[in-house]
Amino acid sequence: MSESSGQTNLVRCFVDALRGIESVFKSERNFRIHLAVAVAVIVLGFVLKISSFEWLAIILCMGFVLVAEVLNTSIEYLADVAHPEMDPGVRRAKDAAAGGVLIASVAAASVGVIVYLPKLWEWLSKS
């Protein structure tokens, strides 16, 4: 395999991944909500001047939630293709995947409260 062929495959992988993210963005309201919350959290981080360690925690949590949402969506896509009619097993799989998103979101919100609440309290006390 030539070097340019390997580079072409690498570019194709990125293009495929971006197409997948675009598909989830267009089709999943919850993904768009999570993305909007992530943008708000980033803005708030700059306003409140959070530390490098706090940024690390926030970025990892945002990534964790977005990945959970993408994996949940991919499970739903596959389940719908494999078994279009209602099936108890498919429903359990979809519910479990959605539960994973909920766990990730609660964990991320908890980290957000730990990072932002003291800073917001301090900021509001000064006002």
69 in active site = yes
Q: Which of 112, 101, 90, 118 is nearest to 38 (CA)?
A: 112
Helices (H) and strands (E) in the chain, counts: 4, 0
Q: Is residue 26 included in any domain, yes or no?
A: no
The model's pTM? 0.87
Q: Is residue 27 included in any domain, yes or no?
A: no
- What distance in Å separates the CA atoms of residue 11 and residue 14, rounded to the nearest whole number? 5
Q: Is residue 29 included in any domain, yes or no?
A: no
Structural domain boundaries enclosing 122: 34-126
Q: Is residue 28 included in any domain, yes or no?
A: no
**Per-residue pLDDT for 6 more than 80?**
no
Q: Is residue 95 included in any domain, yes or no?
A: yes
- What distance in Å separates the CA atoms of residue 32 and residue 24, rounded to the nearest whole number? 9
Q: Is residue 83 included in any domain, yes or no?
A: yes
pLDDT computed for residue 8 by the predictor: 83
**Per-residue pLDDT for 31 more than 50?**
yes
Say how many domains are in the chain: 1
Q: Is residue 99 included in any domain, yes or no?
A: yes
**Per-residue pLDDT for 2 more than 70?**
no
Choice among 22, 69, 76, 85 that is catalytic: 69
CATH number reported for the structural domain that contains residue 61 in this entry: 1.10.287.3610
